Amino acid sequence: MLNSPFITILGIILACIAVFVVCCITGENYNKFRKEGVRTEAKIISKEKIGASGTGNTRYRMVVEFATKDGIVRVTTKRFFTPEDLIKIMRRNTVILYYMPHDPHQILLMPSEME
């Protein structure tokens, strides 16, 4: 029963649905930050390499600091960076991010928007 093609096809279909749902949620988050968030440049206080993908991307845990209208905010976040993004970040030790005005600890790093 477990070796039947039906189970294999069902597993593939469920995996495709899961990928689709994750992509939709990620897209909604991105659009929400772009629409409602505030764009700013944050100073990188510290960064620690915590992993890597098989495609050459590196995962970092970063502490970033940026100014809001209510003062300076420090946030810790994790993200995969491409080698191109790392070059942009290392050049000035800053990163572009979007934060939500009502909760500045919710951030979305956007190194691809850097020059």
Give the pLDDT mean for 86-103.
90
Across 51-62, average pLDDT: 89
Q: In what order do the strands lie in the sheet with 94-100?
A: 71-81, 58-68, 38-52, 94-100, 103-109
Looking at the predicted structure, is the pLDDT value of residue 56 above 60?
yes
Q: Is the pLDDT of residue 2 over 70?
A: no
Q: In this predicted structure, what is the pLDDT of residue 63? A: 95
Q: Is the pLDDT confidence value at 75 over 90?
A: yes
Q: What percent of the chain has pLDDT over 90?
A: 36
The reported pLDDT for the residue numbered 94 is 92
pLDDT at 26 over 70: no
